[in-house]
Structure 1
Amino acid sequence: MSLPSLRLTASLAALGAATAVLSAPAAPAKAEEGMWTFDNFPIATVNQTYGVNIDQAWLDRVREAAVRLQGCSASLVSGEGLILTNHHCVVGCVQDLSDAQHDYVKNGWMPATREDEKKCPGQTAEILTDITDVTERVQGAGQGLEGAAFVQARNAEAEKIQKEGCGDDPKWTCQVISLYRGGQYKLYKFRKYDDVRLVFAPEFQAAFFGGDPDNFNFPRYALDSGFLRIYEDGKPVATPNHLTWNPNAPKEGDVTFVAGNPGTTQRLLTVAQLEALRDQQLPISLIQFSELRGRLLEYSTTGDEAKRVAVDPIFGLENSFKVYYGQQGALTDPAFMARKRQEEADLRQRVAADPELAARIGDPWADLERVAQAQRDLYLPYRQLESGPRSQLYSYAKAIVRAAKERAKPVAERRPGYTDADIAALGRRLAQNAPISNDIEEIYMAFWLSKTREYLTVDNPQVKALLGKDSPEQIAQRTVSGTRLADPAFRAQALAMTPEQLAASGDAMIQFVLANDDAAQAIRTQWESAVSGPTSRAGEKIAQARFAAYGTNLYPDATFSLRLSYGSVKGWTYQGVTVEPFTYIGGLYERNTGAEPFNAAEDWLAAEDKVNKQTVYDFVSTNDIIGGNSGSPVINAKGEVIGAAFDGNIHSLGGSFGYDGNLNRTVTVSTAAITEALRNVYHQPRLLEELGVE
């Protein structure tokens, strides 16, 4: 179930991005390594290696069928807007549509007709249409600037480019994406759909059979799949450019492609930056995730409704914890770190051997070492005060307060991201209606406040301002019970208010954020001046060095933008044990113990005599993927979809920092298994017909 949704890892991802320099391989990529952009895919290498005939037209067809969701990936699989993705990418929607009387997470979502398909609150679907190089403009905007001024000038120019590309049309998204950590900038233009409806989701236990013990492992017996549909003007969108559904499983050795939006990799941080992750950022994240998980698990035992509303939050925390634990394991592996030191030494030697290049870029590694001390000092205040809690109500208040402050300024003086069009887009997001559990919101708020007090100390001025004479639990109860932000109508009213009107609104959460936002923004400014600005400047210089040393035949680091990886269906051998590349439906029943998390779903138990137990359930391939690829279509050489990627094996957990073709594997639920389930377990003839399956 891995590949965590980006919303689950936003804080660490933001901090990691601030420390990253250039994430591209130290030398031209090895076979099957790389998350390639669609405008720089190694067509000749793939064709020669696998004896296939990929061309630009093939790439265009795949790009036009690839879909970016909120934190996940997906693909169009019919001409009527039908989208295939993972169950864990839609489980939040399933939970939003559930209530105490209808637990669709537990029992599955299987509407009888298209008219019963329901909108997923806050979900969007984006399809990439154009890529434009804007490197010169963005790099030129920061010329001669340093620190926060450098960051803000770059951001302002990117925002200007985005405005020129998409205007104020809500049907389009324009995003300037940094590639090679400042080496290149590209404008990605997406067709956007914000009416995304849930079509089908199996029971949670079928999608996540094996639970956390099986997560990031193989063999797997999980039907981690779900279907959405995009609508416009109340009607399904016509999507003639879609992938063809292939109901047959691949064979061992078959070439496979994964088209999706990998979130964040950090494959060429400097050694010092890797050490900062290892010694400070990852340990704190692991400690906090572990403690918060414990609080949620304890809450989930208090009743059936508590267990229901805690399913998705606990799932996300467990998943992210395992990711970070794996990353920490990679960074504490002496052999892995030795390779990183050697790679860095090789690049620095190449720079030293080129006097002109050395004079032009200076010593960005030394610059980053100077940044490291500021980063160590500012990391905890930045994490706790600016990143804030996981609370949705707090996030609403923060967004509204900051929009009000920026709207009060002349347009030219606003921070990037706060044009009138941006604030209008925020209003559309705030209008989405989704249920909120006050109990879980209080857990999030109290936990954040208690950890802020613990890490920054009781005597810290910001901590005193946050808490006053109250306990974290008292503030959590007061702000959550005293806010109307769960109501979309009130959120719309609040977004139109001035800061003075917000202060007078009487809303406890808004008033709490107002009272503490200046301190949060001050630490953000310090972070930009002392950490992210100098890091970006050094990153650009190292990008220049890398291009000079290794040429342009490199893939950029993952940035939650559309990429294509290639590989083949293949198992692996580790410590003398060989893992075969396929599991079969029959294995589900053999693995079933009747006790969580190895209890087969009731519908699968009832259908045991009907399903074909020889059908391939899940399979593994050598494709290079990372978090954000969840739901990505796995495609054969004909451009047909043969599965949806949903996990990596245990060895892939260090994939943020490097790729090992001998061990790293992508785990995929096969279209063969999905087809068998739709036919003989869930009895969904309308979906089978739409997929073109008899």
Structure 2
Amino acid sequence: MNTLRALGVRARAAVLLATLSLSAGAAGIARGEEGMWLPNKPPMDLLKKHGFAPTPQWLEHQQKSAVRFNNGGSGSFVSADGLVMTNHHVGSEMIAQLSAPGKDLLATGFLARTRAEELKCPELELNVLWSIEDVTERVTAAAAGKPVAEANVARRTEMARIEKEQEDATGLDCQVVTLYQGGAYHLYRFKRFTDVRLVFAPDEQMASFGGDVDNFEFPRHCLDVSFFRVYEDGQPYKPEHHLAWSKNGSKEGDLALVFGHPGRTNRLFTADHMAFQRDVALPYSLDRSARREIELQTFTTRSEEFNRIGKDDLHGVANQRKSRTGELQALLNPALFEARRAYDQRLHDRLNAPDASMCPWDRIAVAQDTHREIFYQRSAIGALVGGGLAGAAHTIYQLSAELPKPSTERLREFRDTALPSLYLGLYSDAPIYPELEADRLASALTNFARIYGGDHPMVLRALAGQSPVERAAALIRGSRLMKIDERKRLVEGGASAVASSDDALIRFVADFDQEYRSLRKRFEDEVQAIETAAYAEIAKVKFEAEGDSVYPDATFTLRMSFGPIVGYSEGGKSVPAYTTMGGVFQRSTDRGAEKPFGLDPRWSERKGTLNLSTPYNFVSTCDIIGGNSGSPTVNSAGELIGIIFDGNIQSLIARYAYDDTVARAVSVDSRGIIEAMRKIYDAGFLADEIQGSGH
């Protein structure tokens, strides 16, 4: 689907040309709504054009009210007793883990009426950003004068050293974040929480009303929210900062601000780097998602129980397939590349490089050629040893090799500061379903054989004379890793315990670890290292040309975006900024109440109690991407007016460029949340808690 389908061909090209110039931060051009801005470097001049000048105290309050869900989403503290709000689809993994045969909490929803009834999540970690420090000079100095590959190792080593020093000094979770693809390095210090309990979630029918049909569309009618509570030392956490719930909500034209954790954008990529995404990475990801979606559709129809244990995976992969489809369509528009090449050339013309062979754009192009040589194999083997129970086996195997090394010399995910989060997942008591694990592994084996070729020696070893389905089932049956005690025993026993283990999955991943490491090293030395050094040079040119107008690509760290609440025009028709609660009943009727447009019985029974004109979902021009799900939408007073849960189909260009012509961020309205909690879900006591005054 064309991401700017409401415009004519020439108009689309013009918009994309302007869009890319803006998203690249072209000098002399500013669009107030564009940008995923660092919380310590807000665009004050742009905000003032909207009549708003946030104080340092206002910004700190938003920063320390925002929460990162380490499973890939965002949230915020919304009460003085540690209550956190996020999306239902962010919380669905935990909700599924807390379910059991005959107790499908995704289907029925959940409400804890007392603190004692709140359900502890087995492997959820939340982070709150506490402070930021620029450590660029120290990281870059460690790599100065070294060959490219050695410089990359030196940077990683210094980053690990900084993290360890700061964690020991502060007791906070410390991470050095790479910005501008290597142009800057910031130390982020987080408060880390692992005692997190489910408090309330509506049924999935109403949380994701419209399902895949309405996904990435607008108008929308979803109650995509869930609530968790953070505990510390066995008691509800008392956050220093939490958001006040707006008493009056919002209206069209109001400025909306979003504080969340956008996952990844590629707006600073060169044209050649974007071409790699268009021609290699995205088509592969789309193909893999589509195949996996079909496999999971088959799996979930085998029985009611298989549907319960597999539907969360199915929803996730279906969302990825639709997202990748939109992103690929955006990159297939020649206007996007015309604008990017023109922008690259403008920067290149400012570069003082006497030797053309030293041009960073050319070096990035060469790196993409190398990446093409290894991408498919690296992706296939990564999927083979990187997911589910097989992924746990590979983590255990790698720990046995990495832990004996000094922390600064290990693979980055095994450094000392990363181990608490790693162990939280590895030792989780979340349920493991052998049938689903076998299905995942069979899919990965099939993909591995497809990429390497059925006669490749590694494929023959992987299959051991069986079909992918047979081999996967045998490997899962032959593993004891579903038991937490066995996982701990192997990790604590170290290399000798792992080497002597006869566990089928341990022996399986051991056979492929050398290939995995070889491909990883080649990527890090011949692709990543070259890109990092080259983008650092490009970043210097950008900073000289554009100063503070440049924001870095998203890195799943806290960012601020903003823009007005405003509708748009599509296909000659006006699309209003808001939907109402009455609209969900009309949408259900229009679609014959067939799945996914059926109503939970409580909604039908209690329709008469609702104020059907209550705003339910709304759109704004806020600049968001995946990872922003669950981000609080606030007004200039800092009050919560909604929660981000999606973008429309036109917004899928956002990974590579920004457009506010028709692209929109979609939020659940705070007023709709309260109306549903009080009148549908008997959660008035919880509504009372969150409607208390903010700190």
TM-score band, normalised by shorter chain: over 0.9
Q: Give the letter for the 1:458 counterpart.
A: G
Cα gap change, 1:360/1:200 in structure 2, threshold over 3 Å: closer, same or farther? farther
Whole-angstrom distance in 2 between the partners of 1:576 and 1:649? 17
Whole-angstrom distance in 2 between the partners of 1:600 and 1:423? 44
Is 1:576–2:572 an aligned residue pair? yes
Whole-angstrom distance in 1 between the partners of 2:368 and 2:540? 22
Corresponding residue of 1:546: 542
Whole-angstrom distance in 2 between the partners of 1:676 and 1:292? 38
Whether the 8 Å contact between 1:29 and 1:555 is mirrored in structure 2 is no
Residues 269-288 of structure 1 aligned to structure 2 (within 5 Å): 269-288=269-288
Q: Give the letter for the 1:152 counterpart.
A: V
Cα gap change, 1:422/1:333 in structure 2, threshold over 3 Å: closer, same or farther? closer
Whole-angstrom distance in 2 between the partners of 1:149 and 1:536? 12
TM-superposed CA distance for 1:152, in Å, is 1.9
Cα gap change, 1:425/1:321 in structure 2, threshold over 3 Å: closer, same or farther? closer
Whether the 8 Å contact between 1:87 and 1:207 is mirrored in structure 2 is yes
Corresponding residue of 1:255: 255
Is 1:88–2:89 an aligned residue pair? yes
Per-residue CA distance 1:298-333 (angstroms, 9 max, x = gap): 111111101111110011001111111111000111
Whether the 8 Å contact between 2:82 and 2:238 is mirrored in structure 1 is yes
Corresponding residue of 1:192: 192
TM-superposed CA distance for 1:451, in Å, is 1.2
Corresponding residue of 1:238: 238
What SS does the corresponding residue of 1:228 show, helix, strand or coil? strand
Whole-angstrom distance in 1 between the partners of 2:482 and 2:24? 43
Corresponding residue of 1:487: 483
Q: Give the letter for the 2:414 counterpart.
A: Y
Corresponding residue of 1:101: 102
Cα gap change, 1:176/1:410 in structure 2, threshold over 3 Å: closer, same or farther? closer
Whole-angstrom distance in 1 between the partners of 2:356 and 2:188? 30
What SS does the corresponding residue of 2:493 show, helix, strand or coil? coil
Q: Give the letter for the 1:605 counterpart.
A: S
Q: Give the letter for the 1:309 counterpart.
A: I
Corresponding residue of 2:371: 375
Corresponding residue of 1:498: 494
Whole-angstrom distance in 1 between the partners of 2:221 and 2:388? 33
Whole-angstrom distance in 2 between the partners of 1:639 and 1:421? 33
Cα gap change, 1:316/1:565 in structure 2, threshold over 3 Å: closer, same or farther? same
TM-score normalised per structure 2 = 0.93
Corresponding residue of 1:692: 691
Corresponding residue of 1:297: 297
Alignment equivalent of 1:447, drawn from 420, 438, 443: 443
Per-residue CA distance 1:221-280 (angstroms, 9 max, x = gap): 000011111001111001241110125331100001000000000012111111111111
Corresponding residue of 1:589: 585
Per-residue CA distance 1:123-145 (angstroms, 9 max, x = gap): 11111111000001111122233
Q: Which segment drifts farther, 672-681 or 602-611?
A: 602-611
Corresponding residue of 1:13: none
Whole-angstrom distance in 2 between the partners of 1:623 and 1:541? 30
What SS does the corresponding residue of 2:451 show, helix, strand or coil? helix
Q: Give the letter for the 1:347 counterpart.
A: L
Corresponding residue of 1:124: 125
Per-residue CA distance 1:203-231 (angstroms, 9 max, x = gap): 00010000001000000000001111100
Whole-angstrom distance in 2 between the partners of 1:77 and 1:349? 50
Whole-angstrom distance in 2 between the partners of 1:413 and 1:198? 38
Whole-angstrom distance in 1 between the partners of 2:355 and 2:366? 19
What SS does the corresponding residue of 1:128 show, helix, strand or coil? strand
Structure 1: 5+ residue stretches without partners: 1-22
Corresponding residue of 1:50: 50
Alignment equivalent of 1:522, drawn from 518, 521, 537: 518
Q: Give the letter for the 2:98 counterpart.
A: L
Whole-angstrom distance in 2 between the partners of 1:618 and 1:632? 14
Corresponding residue of 2:506: 510
Per-residue CA distance 1:450-480 (angstroms, 9 max, x = gap): 1111111123343333234332222211221
Q: Which segment drifts farther, 513-522 or 672-681?
A: 513-522
TM-superposed CA distance for 1:391, in Å, is 3.2
TM-superposed CA distance for 1:505, in Å, is 2.2
Corresponding residue of 1:15: none
Q: Which segment drifts farther, 645-654 or 38-47?
A: 38-47
Corresponding residue of 1:678: 677
Whether the 8 Å contact between 2:244 and 2:692 is mirrored in structure 1 is no
Is 1:39–2:33 an aligned residue pair? no
Whole-angstrom distance in 2 between the partners of 1:62 and 1:154? 31
TM-superposed CA distance for 1:149, in Å, is 2.5
Cα gap change, 1:177/1:595 in structure 2, threshold over 3 Å: closer, same or farther? same
Corresponding residue of 1:19: none
Corresponding residue of 1:307: 307
Corresponding residue of 1:10: none
TM-superposed CA distance for 1:168, in Å, is 8.9
Whole-angstrom distance in 2 between the partners of 1:254 and 1:236? 34
Per-residue CA distance 1:337-385 (angstroms, 9 max, x = gap): 222222222222233xxx4x66799301111222222111110111111
Q: How many equivalent residue pairs?
A: 667
TM-superposed CA distance for 1:575, in Å, is 3.2
Per-residue CA distance 1:375-422 (angstroms, 9 max, x = gap): 111101111113436631011111111010112345565334434554
Whether the 8 Å contact between 1:146 and 1:534 is mirrored in structure 2 is no
Corresponding residue of 1:227: 227
TM-superposed CA distance for 1:147, in Å, is 4.5
TM-superposed CA distance for 1:29, in Å, is 4.5
Whole-angstrom distance in 1 between the partners of 2:148 and 2:421? 29
Whole-angstrom distance in 1 between the partners of 2:234 and 2:24? 43
Corresponding residue of 1:110: 111
Residues 549-568 of structure 1 aligned to structure 2 (within 5 Å): 549-568=545-564
Whether the 8 Å contact between 1:24 and 1:557 is mirrored in structure 2 is no
Corresponding residue of 2:12: none
Whole-angstrom distance in 1 between the partners of 2:299 and 2:63? 43
What SS does the corresponding residue of 1:384 show, helix, strand or coil? helix
Structure 2: 5+ residue stretches without partners: 1-22
Whole-angstrom distance in 2 between the partners of 1:557 and 1:144? 27
What SS does the corresponding residue of 2:618 show, helix, strand or coil? strand
Whole-angstrom distance in 1 between the partners of 2:408 and 2:38? 34
Is 1:397–2:393 an aligned residue pair? yes
Whether the 8 Å contact between 1:217 and 1:648 is mirrored in structure 2 is yes
Whether the 8 Å contact between 2:96 and 2:309 is mirrored in structure 1 is yes
Cα gap change, 1:205/1:389 in structure 2, threshold over 3 Å: closer, same or farther? farther
Corresponding residue of 1:612: 611
Whole-angstrom distance in 2 between the partners of 1:178 and 1:24? 18
Alignment equivalent of 2:362, drawn from 354, 366, 373: 366
TM-superposed CA distance for 1:509, in Å, is 0.9
Q: Which segment drifts farther, 369-378 or 70-79?
A: 369-378
Residues 301-450 of structure 1 aligned to structure 2 (within 5 Å): 301-351=301-351, 355=352, 362-388=358-384, 391-409=387-405, 413-420=409-416, 422-423=418-419, 425-450=421-446
Whole-angstrom distance in 1 between the partners of 2:375 and 2:195? 38
What SS does the corresponding residue of 1:36 show, helix, strand or coil? coil
What SS does the corresponding residue of 2:616 show, helix, strand or coil? strand
Is 1:156–2:152 an aligned residue pair? no
What SS does the corresponding residue of 1:295 show, helix, strand or coil? helix
Whether the 8 Å contact between 1:146 and 1:533 is mirrored in structure 2 is no
What SS does the corresponding residue of 1:609 show, helix, strand or coil? helix
Whether the 8 Å contact between 2:385 and 2:509 is mirrored in structure 1 is no
Q: Give the letter for the 2:494 counterpart.
A: T
Whole-angstrom distance in 2 between the partners of 1:53 and 1:409? 49
What SS does the corresponding residue of 1:123 show, helix, strand or coil? coil
Corresponding residue of 1:72: 73
Whole-angstrom distance in 2 between the partners of 1:347 and 1:159? 33
Whether the 8 Å contact between 1:29 and 1:554 is mirrored in structure 2 is no
Per-residue CA distance 1:162-196 (angstroms, 9 max, x = gap): 11111298x62111011111111100001111111
Q: Which segment drifts farther, 485-494 or 214-223?
A: 485-494
Whole-angstrom distance in 2 between the partners of 1:150 and 1:194? 35
Corresponding residue of 1:660: 659
Whole-angstrom distance in 2 between the partners of 1:690 and 1:506? 53
Corresponding residue of 2:208: 208
Corresponding residue of 1:136: 137
Is 1:648–2:611 an aligned residue pair? no
